[in-house]
Structure 1
Amino acid sequence: MLGYLLFIISASLVIINTAFCSIPILGFGLIKFLLPIKPLQRLCTSLANRFMWLWATVNHGILHLVNPKVEWDIEGLESLRKDGWYLMISNHLSWTDIVVLCSIFKDRIPMPKFFLKQQLLYVPFVGMACWALDMPFMKRYSREYLLRHPEKRGQDLATTRRSCAKFKDTPTTVVNYVEGTRFTADKQKKSAAGYNYLLQPKSGGIAYTLAAMGDQFENIIDVTLAYPKNTDEPFKAALMGDMKKIVVKVRILPVDNKILGDYFNDKPYKREFQKWLGDVWKDKDQVLDDIHTK
């Protein structure tokens, strides 16, 4: 009963915090939309990011309040700075990931901007706040749909370019969950990707981002997340005060000519890029294996 009571309390606190921080963020977003004056837009972006920082800080406090004995195992944050531009890639396990990433990185790098599915735009408070924070909303098309509607090809790249153009004036961390969806054991079995703890990485999304901003990113932040003692439902465990351990392993990768190129028209480069990402994911799977078999 105590666990469910904590769930109700912590979920309510998260909802209240989200609503409280979303309203001013949305206000700044509307000002940017209605008054397209560059200095004013930059100021509004900075103020909106401060409220996202507040949201992350309060959520971190709620996580600690409900899970006072949670063990944090974090490595690799030493060389990061708040005034840089970064591309962050990560595996994706649950909604807890967003809280964890914002919590541990909030004072070390610019506040993360996530690539989001278009459906999230319609989530109360969250969707419009993310729009106001200039987070890219992506509409994915299936291979079959694109065969029937070839005119839709390239729209994700155009959306990414428009979104990334807004990041060029303000230090930004762009986050891409390369697998495209949250990991589950069932999805892992169906994917037949050859990984024990990961799904097949999708190279198109990260290639879109590098094509739009590759020359501006200082580094790629490769994040490996794990909840080794709460693998089934980490978000529920966190809200119920049952989270035991959170592991975050960070590796800094260079942005060099090896991973920059014309992904959409240069087939040899596309193959090399897919190999590079596959190697990154293979290393990540080994890190996760080490975490889970300790």
Structure 2
Amino acid sequence: MDRIMDESMLKKWQMVRKWGGGILFTMSLFFSALLGFVVLSPVYIIGFALRLQCGQWIYDTIISTWFAFAVGAYEVIYGVRIVIQGDVRAMSKDKCSLIVMNHRTRLDWLFYFAVQARYSSLRRFKISLKNELRHIPGAGWAMQAAKFLFLKRRWSVDRDKIVDYLSTFASYGMSPQLLLFPEGTDFQQVSRQRSRQYAEQNELSDYSHVLHPRTLGFTSVVGYMKEYNKLDQIIDVTVAYPENVLQTETALITGDIPRVIVFIINCFDIDTVPTENEARLAQWLEHRWRLKEETLKEFYVYKDYSGENGLTAEQNLEIERDTKLYLVAALVFWAGLCLSCVCLLLLSHVFRVCVLWGLLICLLVSSFVGFDTLFNSLAVFPDM
């Protein structure tokens, strides 16, 4: 009887720890983004107001440390294991890249920060997202200012948005590394059924692990990035969750964070991709998705965690050491910032008033202007 009670108490304690950890993780991401954006806003707003050419660089550097903070939270604190396979040798902090990935969960982008932190640039990293996400307090405002690509999924509207978006980076003289989900939505029962119907209507193979990609947006983005940003490469990423899947943002609260996440990387120099012909480029993407389906079928059978990525053991060890130092530094910085803000909110009436006014101003700017539009209007572009 005592043994049964002990097991029951242990399960309850494990459940409390799991939920407690999930709530702590979620709240730390939310409040660090919210308070960080408001409290640090004078730094980058002054940079733009003074018409400094480095204004956007200052902001992108600040937000890249928050990306590293998120990675540090789930890797260092929660012990999530990131396995990166394929060949990462062509990835670079300086190259202009279009990253295409299967959209297994709504949080794939969050976990992909870990790859960028190791082999590419968190400062140059941009994501294509649903337009509704731009107004999330804190995180949405930060993504606006970071110039993430928000799409409404109506080509008549999105086409001009994409052109303006990529041409702006050309004006800054910046080479973005843009993450695009060609499937358009995450892999769930409803989207799986729609993909099956699409396959039947077009006499295509039915997929079990991915959705059929939408090629129009992909081919257009490739063309515009070649025109405006001197696109260097396309990075094809396959993500797999071999142990458990965290499907939505709200599921973070339960603390059921994936223990292992596998990224399989394939890099293609832009000269090796048929970009001059849209039909052939669309076929190229569809072929990559067929290979992606086969890769995932095999992976979920054998669950290979070897992590071979084209680098030597010594090179990987050095990268992991440098990355961990960077992640710990980001954790310390953002934890210290949040703790300082909490103390000031409790102790200082002036600080509370300033934060409330800051929140109100941010809400109004996000709703009626947009931080991306505001900062573009203040920016000074270098001579090209």
Query: How does the TM-score come out when normalised to structure 2?
Result: 0.64
The percentage of aligned residue pairs carrying the same residue is 21
Structure 2 equivalent of residue 246 of structure 1: 261
Q: Would you say how many aligned residue pairs link Structure 1 and Structure 2?
A: 271
Sort the Cα spacing of 1:196 and 1:29 in 2 relative to 1 into closer, same or farther, 3 A. Answer: farther
1:23 aligned onto 2:38: yes
**Alpha-carbon distance in structure 1 between the residues aligned to 2:253 and 2:284:** 34
Structure 2 equivalent of residue 119 of structure 1: 132
Structure 1 equivalent of residue 310 of structure 2: none
Structure 2 equivalent of residue 177 of structure 1: 181
How far residue 46 of structure 1 moved from its aligned partner, in angstroms, is: 1.2
**Alpha-carbon distance in structure 2 between the residues aligned to 1:227 and 1:13:** 24
Is the partner of 2:180 in helix, strand or coil?
A: strand
Structure 2 equivalent of residue 158 of structure 1: 160
Structure 2 equivalent of residue 71 of structure 1: 81
Sort the Cα spacing of 1:255 and 1:27 in 2 relative to 1 into closer, same or farther, 3 A. Answer: farther
Contact 2:219 2:278 in 1 (8 A): no
Is the partner of 1:12 in helix, strand or coil?
A: helix
Q: Which has the larger radius of gyration?
A: 2
Amino acid at match of 1:138: L
How far residue 30 of structure 1 moved from its aligned partner, in angstroms, is: 5.1
Contact 2:244 2:258 in 1 (8 A): yes
Match of 2:193 among 186, 189, 192: 189
**Alpha-carbon distance in structure 2 between the residues aligned to 1:21 and 1:252:** 34
How far residue 25 of structure 1 moved from its aligned partner, in angstroms, is: 7.2
Contact 1:66 1:238 in 2 (8 A): no
**Alpha-carbon distance in structure 2 between the residues aligned to 1:181 and 1:4:** 27
Q: Per chain length, whose mean CA-contact separation is higher, i.e. which structure has more relative contact order (CA < 8 Å, sep 6+)?
A: 2
1:84 aligned onto 2:92: no
List per-residue Cα deviations over 1:247-290 (Å, max 9, x = no partner).
001100121385324xxxxxxx4432221111011111111112
How far residue 50 of structure 1 moved from its aligned partner, in angstroms, is: 1.2
Q: Which runs of 5+ in 2 are unaligned?
A: 1-15, 200-205, 303-384
Q: Single out whichever of 89-98 and 175-184 deviates more from structure 2.
A: 89-98
Is the partner of 1:83 in helix, strand or coil?
A: coil
Structure 2 equivalent of residue 150 of structure 1: none
Sort the Cα spacing of 1:245 and 1:211 in 2 relative to 1 into closer, same or farther, 3 A. Answer: same
Structure 1 equivalent of residue 29 of structure 2: 14
Contact 1:160 1:209 in 2 (8 A): yes
Is the partner of 2:258 in helix, strand or coil?
A: coil
List per-residue Cα deviations over 1:147-196 (Å, max 9, x = no partner).
xxxxxx64322111110112221132011111111111342133114211
Sort the Cα spacing of 1:60 and 1:252 in 2 relative to 1 into closer, same or farther, 3 A. Answer: same
Contact 1:6 1:241 in 2 (8 A): no
Contact 2:103 2:187 in 1 (8 A): yes
Match of 2:114 among 99, 103, 109: 103
Is the partner of 1:114 in helix, strand or coil?
A: strand
How far residue 208 of structure 1 moved from its aligned partner, in angstroms, is: 2.2
* Within-5 A mapping of 1:216-255: 216-231=230-245, 233=247, 236=251, 240=255, 242-255=257-270
Query: How does the TM-score come out when normalised to structure 1?
Result: 0.82
List per-residue Cα deviations over 1:202-240 (Å, max 9, x = no partner).
112222211211251111011111111113647636961
Structure 2 equivalent of residue 5 of structure 1: 20
Q: Report the structure, 1 or 2, having the larger helix content.
A: 2
Contact 1:18 1:125 in 2 (8 A): yes
How far residue 242 of structure 1 moved from its aligned partner, in angstroms, is: 4.6
Sort the Cα spacing of 1:11 and 1:258 in 2 relative to 1 into closer, same or farther, 3 A. Answer: closer
Contact 2:63 2:142 in 1 (8 A): no
